[in-house]
Amino acid sequence: MEFLKKATVLLLSLLLINALNAQDLKTVFKKSYELEKNGKYIEAIEKIKTVYDENSYEINLRLGWLAYSAGSFTESISYYNKAIELMPLSIEAQL
């Protein structure tokens, strides 16, 4: 019974952390769109990098676009290639 209690607490803790991370990610993406709209590409990149996960297709795709918009083409290619590696059939990353 004690094991079940500990397992339940652990599971609930992980779910809460995951929910908080998802909300943080949503907030960061929203802020990056606002910065992009105002032509502040470098600031948008820095904002996204605060939640960077090399295994996230969406983050690498977003960073690829922002780096391209900022004129950092080598960096852009690197992020797009990572996105393609994560999702080989991605059309957006291959454009």
Contact 65, 94 (CB under 8 A): no
Give CA–CA dist 87/44, Å, rounded. 23
Closest alpha carbon to 67 in 42, 86, 92:
42
pLDDT digits (tens, 9 = 90+) for 51-91: 999 999 999 999 999 999 999 999 999 999 999 999 999 89
Residue found by looking up tokens 């795709």 in the block:
61
What is the per-residue pLDDT for 52?
93
pLDDT tens-digit map of 26-58: 999 999 999 999 999 999 999 999 999 999 999
pLDDT at 95: 83
In this prediction the pTM is: 0.77
pLDDT band of residue 24 (cuts 50, 70, 90) is confident
Homologous superfamily assigned to 2-94: Tetratricopeptide repeat domain (1.25.40.10)
